[in-house]
């Protein structure tokens, strides 16, 4: 007997006392919890996002579409970034004013190659106000998962209000499970040493989120 | 009524000391006690605030319970569906009946890649099966990459908390471990390393980065597996999980079969309840979700090892099976008065605290002294149940397992029905147990007593009315003030101390 058969057999025997029940799953779990917490206008939801992002030590900037290129350029210059990783489908205009060398997101790059790049600029798939979370789904303007992981500085652009939802349930509705998803809530952190929070262990130590109208 | 009832059974010295002895050592370790107190109290208060933000917490908790119960009830069906989904998405599924088989599968998979080292993201399941040790015997070095796990691994130590495994170490100890041990494992600690947390974290970052960048094989567990889509979820803080899940060419995930949930939508419940219950955050810094393999993004090969290792035995226990709902948030540890005094190591298992007290004896049986004593490592105050995000009635299971230890009875071990003999040295407890069973067979009597006690904690009731009296007579209450553990111990063991 294979281990598969053995385990499945054990499961079935273990449940021998349970009377058969074919209630459809939708009826088993009453999803009577809230779809979002509290009532907010669109602008209030965006404000909550900004607040919660900042609460978890992301640096939040708000700007218009027209101001975006100069803001990105300034943030990179402030970091003295010499190079920036660019997902293949990133809007060309976003980096138009930045005076840095661009590194394409390529299959051939080794992790060491990525480690030599200072910053990365990506878009996102959705942002969650209640939790201060941005979610990346590997779309063309976000690139492979590793490019937003290895460089120490991540600039993430959120289009508001279109990409902002209030809650976790609303975010899951918008996301496609088949894509590789990375949920990011503030820069990486640890509280492993006497519960003192230290920002930045392995992921980017600086996360800047640009909310763009 | 015997006053020794909630005391620990008395055993001859075992290999791992039974809980009472192990706990006594811990209680005398001052650093451990003050670290634990600080940690558990801090997280406890933060958790309460994070939970209070969600007005529908009770409904989320109830949904979590129902989702998990439904899954367990149809676990065979969902495991088969999960296997199909993962396979369709490009992954390979393996089934492991026990720890030895899981370790063998992983070792073979690693060898097939030609590699002799792997990076690991913290996983309870791989600790449970002793994977690192098994790999080492096969000539494969496994590097733990979670900061706390690194501290534990470098210190040749054992984890003491689910969430903050190095909670028993203070910053000075950590600095010393880094200074003396890092060099033997890779990049040494920087010269002049001080004991500030930021510097220590930086030392770990540098030490581990070279490992991440060259790693060809990553090993993980998972918090959830979605049967419908084949998606695996890992919830973490530091980014070491993302490193292990995306940089290597091969990813091997070892996951207990009970981590399955039916649908994608189910994640909306647990992604709200888990972070708030565990790190007390609205959301943890990083959550990774992947479904099989993705072209040109992340590992090219993905293996899922589905682990039984006693879980189906627990599933066969009508009372005990609810322990399989656990999402390992560790909230029950942080509120437990016994854990706070005894520390994680006393539980002799990778699963410490209240959940460990009900899970380990079910996964491993109650043959050894430590496992037979674990169901007694509780004052039955009910605080664990109150905070549990999937509403596991830990006191109920504890009492059930005590009865099993004392009276023996039918159980399932490694898939076979066995009749357990009563443990020796339990005659007095047996009598108490019979009375207790009366309480249990009379709906609500005992439970009302317990819940009442935990709700009216402020009032410090010394005894409870009716059948609850037998219990409360020897129970310690959680808010019971600065009573030294020694005294508490003496009192709850009813002066049987000399019998050790
Ligand atoms: S038993 Fe409940 S509270 Fe304890 S770790 Fe598991 S889910 Fe969390």
- Render pLDDT for A167-190 as a digit per residue (tens, 0 to 9): 999 999 999 999 999 999 988 877
Measure in Å the smallest separation between the Cα of A66 and chain B Cα atoms. 30
A45 within a domain of the structure (yes/no): yes
Check residue B314 and give left, alpha or beta (phi > 0: left; psi -120 to 50: alpha): alpha
A34 within a domain of the structure (yes/no): no
- Answer whether A80 touches B (CB < 8 Å): no
Q: Which two tokens stand for residue B131?
A: 């994977």
Q: Which residues contact B133 (CB under 8 A, 6 or more apart)?
A: none
The pairing of strands A133-136 and A181-184 is: antiparallel
- Domain tally for chain A? 1
Q: Do B38 and A7 touch (CB under 8 A)?
A: no
Complete DSSP assignment for B244-287? HHHSSSEEEEEEEGGGEES-GGGHHHHHHHHHHHHT--SS-SEE
Pocket test for ligand 1, best of B67, B339, B388, B389 (most atoms within 8 A of CB): B388
Of 3.20.20.140, 3.40.50.10420, 3.30.420.40, 3.40.30.20, the CATH number of B1-441 is 3.40.50.10420
Residue nearest to atom 3 of ligand 1 (CA): B388
Closest to B267 in 3D by CA, of B228, B305, B298: B228
Query: Can you tell me whether residue A150 is helix, strand or coil?
Result: coil
Task: State the CATH number of the domain containing residue A174.
Answer: 3.40.50.10420
pLDDT computed for residue B28 by the predictor: 62
For residue A175, give the chain B residue with the closest CA. Answer: B264
Measure in Å the smallest separation between the Cα of A145 and chain B Cα atoms. 7
Residues 26-55 of A with CB under 8 A from B: 28-34, 37, 52
A2 within a domain of the structure (yes/no): no
What order of strands is seen across the sheet that includes strand B92-96? B92-96, B301-307, B250-256, B217-220, B117-120, B141-144
B19-28 and B30-52 helices cross at what angle (nearest 10)?
Answer: 100
The pairing of strands A59-63 and A206-212 is: parallel
A146 within a domain of the structure (yes/no): yes
Euclidean distance between CA atoms A103 and A128, whole angstroms: 29
Give the total residue count for chain B: 500
Q: Which residues contact B438 (CB under 8 A, 6 or more apart)?
A: B467
Q: Which residues contact B440 (CB under 8 A, 6 or more apart)?
A: B399, B446
- Answer whether A20 touches B (CB < 8 Å): no
Residue of A169, A178, A201 lying closest to B268 (CB–CB) = A169
Helices (H), ranges, B53-155: 57-73, 75-88, 99-113, 124-128, 131-137, 147-154
Contacts A165 to B, Cβ<8 Å: none
Do B63 and A30 touch, CB atoms closer than 8 A? yes
Do B125 and B96 touch, CB atoms closer than 8 A? no
Q: Which two tokens stand for residue B444?
A: 């609500």
Euclidean distance between CA atoms B153 and B272, whole angstroms: 31
Residue nearest to atom 2 of ligand 1 (CA): B388
Euclidean distance between CA atoms B362 and B321, whole angstroms: 9
pLDDT computed for residue A203 by the predictor: 86
Euclidean distance between CA atoms A68 and A53, whole angstroms: 19
Euclidean distance between CA atoms B405 and B371, whole angstroms: 9
Query: Can you tell me whether residue B118 is helix, strand or coil?
Result: strand
Q: Do A190 and B296 touch (CB under 8 A)?
A: no
For residue B65, give the chain A residue with the closest CA. Answer: A29
pLDDT computed for residue B475 by the predictor: 35
Check residue B348 and give left, alpha or beta (phi > 0: left; psi -120 to 50: alpha): left
- CB-based burial label for B165 (10 Å; 0-12, 13-18, 19+): buried
A16 within a domain of the structure (yes/no): no
Beta bridge partners of A153: A119, A206
Euclidean distance between CA atoms A195 and B322, whole angstroms: 31
- CB-based burial label for B156 (10 Å; 0-12, 13-18, 19+): exposed
pLDDT computed for residue B477 by the predictor: 32
Residue A189 to residues A63, A200, B155, Cα–Cα distance (Å): 27, 5, 22
Show pLDDT as tens, one digit a residue, over chain B (500 residues).
332 223 333 332 335 667 766 676 666 677 777 777 887 888 889 999 999 999 999 999 999 999 999 999 999 999 999 999 999 999 999 999 999 999 999 999 999 999 999 999 988 999 999 999 999 999 999 999 988 888 888 888 877 777 777 777 888 889 999 999 999 888 999 999 998 888 998 999 999 999 999 999 999 999 999 999 999 999 998 899 999 999 999 999 999 999 999 999 999 999 999 999 998 999 999 999 999 999 999 999 999 999 999 999 999 999 999 999 999 999 999 899 888 887 777 788 888 899 999 999 899 888 787 788 888 888 889 999 999 999 999 999 999 998 888 888 888 989 998 888 887 665 546 555 554 454 444 434 344 334 433 333 333 233 333 333 333 333 333 333 333 333 433 444 433 333 33
The two counts, helices (H) then strands (E), for chain B are 23, 12
Residue A175 to residues A126, B5, B228, B289, Cα–Cα distance (Å): 8, 53, 15, 11
Locate the domains of chain B by residue range.
1-441, 443-498
Q: Which residues contact B78 (CB under 8 A, 6 or more apart)?
A: B71, B227, B260, B262
Residues 135-154 of A with CB under 8 A from B: 138, 144-146, 149-150
Residue nearest to atom 8 of ligand 1 (CA): B329
Ligand 1 contacts (CB < 6 A) are B 277, 326-332, 355, 387-390, 392
Helices (H), ranges, B140-216: 147-154, 171-185, 197-214
Complete DSSP assignment for A81-107? --EEEE-TTS-GGGGTT--SEEEE--T
Closest to A128 in 3D by CA, of A177, A62, A174, A187: A174
Rg (CA), chain A: 21
A11 within a domain of the structure (yes/no): no
Which domain covers residue A130, as residue numbers?
39-212
pLDDT computed for residue B338 by the predictor: 86
Q: Is the dihedral of CA B232, A36, B73, B384 positive or negative?
A: positive
Q: Which two tokens stand for residue B104?
A: 């063998």
pLDDT computed for residue A191 by the predictor: 73
Q: What distance in angstroms lies between residue B164's CA and the mean position of ligand 1's atoms?
A: 15
Check residue A101 and give left, alpha or beta (phi > 0: left; psi -120 to 50: alpha): beta
Closest to B261 in 3D by CA, of B124, B72, B391: B72
Q: How many CB atoms lie within 10 A of CB B326?
A: 24
Q: Do A112 and B213 touch (CB under 8 A)?
A: yes
Residues 397-436 of B with CB under 8 A from A: 412, 415
ipTM of the complex: 0.96
Query: Can you tell me whether residue A128 is helix, strand or coil?
Result: strand
- Answer whether A192 touches B (CB < 8 Å): yes
Euclidean distance between CA atoms B83 and B228, whole angstroms: 10
Contacts A110 to B, Cβ<8 Å: 213
Do A53 and A132 touch, CB atoms closer than 8 A? yes
Euclidean distance between CA atoms A114 and A148, whole angstroms: 10
Show pLDDT as tens, one digit a residue, over chain A (213 residues).
899 999 999 999 999 988 888 888 989 998 999 999 999 999 999 999 999 999 988 999 999 999 999 999 999 999 999 999 999 999 999 999 999 999 999 999 999 999 999 999 999 999 999 999 999 999 999 999 999 999 999 999 999 999 999 999 999 999 999 999 999 998 887 777 777 777 778 889 999 999 999
pLDDT computed for residue A39 by the predictor: 94
Give the total residue count for chain A: 213
Closest to B357 in 3D by CA, of B390, B307, B397: B397
The pairing of strands B286-291 and B231-236 is: antiparallel
């Amino acid at each position: 007997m294979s281990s598969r058969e053995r385990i499945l057999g054990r499961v079935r025997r273990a449940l021998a006392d349970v009377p058969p029940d074919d209630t459809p799953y939708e009826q088993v779990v009453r999803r009577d919890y809230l779809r979002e917490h509290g009532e907010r206008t669109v602008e209030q939801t965006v404000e909550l996002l900004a607040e919660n992002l900042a609460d978890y030590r992301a640096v939040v900037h708000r700007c218009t579409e027209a101001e975006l290129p100069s803001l990105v350029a300034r943030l990179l210059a402030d970091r003295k970034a010499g190079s920036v990783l660019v997902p293949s489908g990133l809007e060309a205009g976003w980096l138009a004013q930045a005076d840095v060398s661009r590194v394409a997101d390529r299959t051939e790059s080794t992790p060491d190659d990525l480690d030599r790049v200072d910053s990365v600029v990506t878009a996102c798939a959705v942002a969650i106000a209640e939790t201060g979370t941005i979610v990346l789904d590997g779309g063309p303007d976000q690139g492979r998962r590793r490019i937003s992981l290895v460089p120490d500085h991540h600039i993430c652009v959120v289009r508001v209000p279109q990409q902002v939802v209030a809650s976790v349930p609303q975010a899951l509705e918008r996301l496609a499970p088949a894509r590789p998803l990375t949920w990011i809530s503030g820069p990486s952190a640890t509280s492993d040493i006497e519960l003192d929070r230290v920002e930045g262990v392995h992921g980017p130590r600086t996360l800047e989120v640009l909310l763009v109208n | 009524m015997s006053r020794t009832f909630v005391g620990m059974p008395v055993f001859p010295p075992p290999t791992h000391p039974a809980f009472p002895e192990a706990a006594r050592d811990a209680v005398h370790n001052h650093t451990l006690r003050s670290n634990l107190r600080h940690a558990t109290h801090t997280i406890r208060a933060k958790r309460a605030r994070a939970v209070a933000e969600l007005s529908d917490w009770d409904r989320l908790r109830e949904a979590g319970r129902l989702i998990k119960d439904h899954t367990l009830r149809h676990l065979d069906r969902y495991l088969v569906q999960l296997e199909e989904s993962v396979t369709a998405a490009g992954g390979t599924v393996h089934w492991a009946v026990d720890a030895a088989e899981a370790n063998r599968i992983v070792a073979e998979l690693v060898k097939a890649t030609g590699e002799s080292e792997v990076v690991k993201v913290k996983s309870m399941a791989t600790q449970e099966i002793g994977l690192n040790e098994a790999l080492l015997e096969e000539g494969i070095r496994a590097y733990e990459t979670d900061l706390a796990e690194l501290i534990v691994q470098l210190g040749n130590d054992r984890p003491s908390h689910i969430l903050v495994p190095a909670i028993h170490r203070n910053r000075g100890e950590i600095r010393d471990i880094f200074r003396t041990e890092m060099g033997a494992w890779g990049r040494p600690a920087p010269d002049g390393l001080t004991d500030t947390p930021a510097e220590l974290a930086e030392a770990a970052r540098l030490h581990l980065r070279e490992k991440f960048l060259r790693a060809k094989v990553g090993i993980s567990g998972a918090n959830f597996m979605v049967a419908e889509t084949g998606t695996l979820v890992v919830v973490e803080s530091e980014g070491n999980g993302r490193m292990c899940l995306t940089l290597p060419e091969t990813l091997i995930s070892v996951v207990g079969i009970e981590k399955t949930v039916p649908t994608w939508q189910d994640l909306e419940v647990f992604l709200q309840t888990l972070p708030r219950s565990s790190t007390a955050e609205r959301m943890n810094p990083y959550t990774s979700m992947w479904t099989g393999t993705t072209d040109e993004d992340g590992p090219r090969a993905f293996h899922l090892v589905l682990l039984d290792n006693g879980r189906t035995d627990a599933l066969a226990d009508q009372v005990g099976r609810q322990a399989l709902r656990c999402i390992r948030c560790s909230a029950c540890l942080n509120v437990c008065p016994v854990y706070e005094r005894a520390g994680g190591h006393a539980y002799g298992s990778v699963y410490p605290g209240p959940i460990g007290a009900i899970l380990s004896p079910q996964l491993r049986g109650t043959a050894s002294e430590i496992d037979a004593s674990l169901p007694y490592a509780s004052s039955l105050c009910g605080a664990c149940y109150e905070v549990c995000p999937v509403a596991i009635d830990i006191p109920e299971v504890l009492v059930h397992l005590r009865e099993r230890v004392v009276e023996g009875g039918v159980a399932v071990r490694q898939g076979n029905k066995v009749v357990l003999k009563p443990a020796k040295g339990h005659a007095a407890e047996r009598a108490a147990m019979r009375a207790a069973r009366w309480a249990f067979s009379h709906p609500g009597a005992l439970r009302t007593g317990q819940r009442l006690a935990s709700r009216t904690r402020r009032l410090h009731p010394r005894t409870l009315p009716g059948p609850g009296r037998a219990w409360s007579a020897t129970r310690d209450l959680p808010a019971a003030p600065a009573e030294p553990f020694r005294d508490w111990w003496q009192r709850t063991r009813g002066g049987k101390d000399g019998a050790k």
